[in-house]
Amino acid sequence: MFTRDKKNFDVINFLQSQHFISFTHQIDATHPNKNEDGIIPAGSFYPKNDATAIGLTINDVDVSKGEQPIGVIVEGYILEERLPESPTPEAKAALTGIKFYSENNQPSTVAKATKSKKETTGGNA
C-alpha cells in the first residue's frame, strides 16, 4: 500500500467564468513550473509558456512519483493576473481558445507585431 505525508495546497481561482473545456494529457517531472516537492500548480502552461502552449493545467498535480494525467484547459476565460506565471506573447497567440482577462474583468490584449506597408506611387503593381 502506498502512503505518504499529508500535503496542503493553496487553491487560487484563476477562472473568470465557469465556462471552460479541458482535455486530459500526461505531464511529467520535466515541467518548468515543478516546485521542490514535485508539485505543478494549477494554471501552469502546458507544455510550456511559449509558442508550443496548448492550454493551462486545471488542477495541481504531484509528479514526484512519476508521470500523471492532468486536465488541460483549451478553451475558456482566464484571469491572467492570478496565474502562477504571466503568459508570454507567444503563448497568448498560440492559445486561441483561451480569452485572458485582467482582475477588473477587462479583456487582456496581445501585443501584435506590426507589418510594414510597402507604399506604391501609383499604377498597378
Instruction: Evaluate the CA torsion angle 27, 66, 42, 70 in order and state its sign.
Output: positive
Q: What is the structure's pLDDT at 110?
A: 52
Domain chopping of the chain, boundaries: 15-101
CATH fold label, 15-101: Virus Head Decoration Protein; Chain: A, (2.40.300)
Question: Would the pLDDT of 115 be above 90?
Answer: no
Residue 11 has pLDDT above 80, yes or no: no
Q: What is the pLDDT of residues 31-71, one digit of tens each?
A: 999 999 899 999 999 999 999 999 999 999 999 999 999 99
Contacts of 63 (CB under 8 A, 6+ apart): 27, 28, 29, 31, 34, 38, 39, 40
Secondary structure of residue 90 in the 3-state scheme: helix
Indicate yes or no: pTM above 0.85: no
Encode pLDDT of 69-96 as tens digits: 999 999 999 999 999 999 999 999 999 9
